[in-house]
Amino acid sequence: MNKDLDDPRLTAVGLLAEAYTGLMNRLAAQFEEHRLSQVEFEVLMRLARSPGNHLRMTDLAGQTTLSTSGVTRVVDRMERTGLVRREACPSDRRSSYAVITDAGMQRLSDVLPGHLELVQRWYVGLLPEARLAELLDSLRTIRDAVNPCATAGSAETALPA
């Protein structure tokens, strides 16, 4: 067998992909039960956890798995169902914000208890506290290297007022 195929780097990437896919499969039914896609849930979470419950559309794209045009399509769909709305950016007329609505916050609060239960059962609850802390630290290191825009517009990167 080719030694390159036994490379632990391939194992590391493969395990990450398999773990992510397995976890998303475990969460999918619960999202469907609440009439949300995984990406819609992600958008609601990102907005709800951001200062002022809003993000510039470009920052939302940077924080999700979507392109700028993909975020536009998702926000358009979510706006039609009343989960988010758009607001003009007062300092840049070319930009707009996606803002979570009361209905979006309600949908999120309906989904969250079951979601957290599943995350506990299939992810964080499988690791002792110290290993989980190490994993989260490692994931942040990797995220920051491969996706430096992932925290754009969040409290983590927001400038003081």
State pLDDT tens for residues 8-23: 999 999 999 999 999 9
Mean pLDDT of 110-135: 97
**For residues 111-122, b (16+ Cβ closer than 10 Å) or e, as one string?**
bbeebeebeeee
C-alpha to C-alpha distance for 85 and 80, rounded to whole angstroms: 9
What phi, psi does 87 have (nearest 5°)? -135, 145
User: DSSP assignment, residue 154?
Assistant: S
The mean pLDDT of 9-38, rounded to a whole number, is 95
Q: What is the pTM of this model?
A: 0.84
Domain spans in the chain, listed from the N-terminal domain onward: 25-111
Q: Are 98 and 43 in contact (CB under 8 A)?
A: yes
Second-level CATH architecture of 25-111: Orthogonal Bundle (1.10)
Residue 34 has what pLDDT?
94
pLDDT attached to residue 151: 79
Distance (Å, whole) CA 100 – CA 133: 30
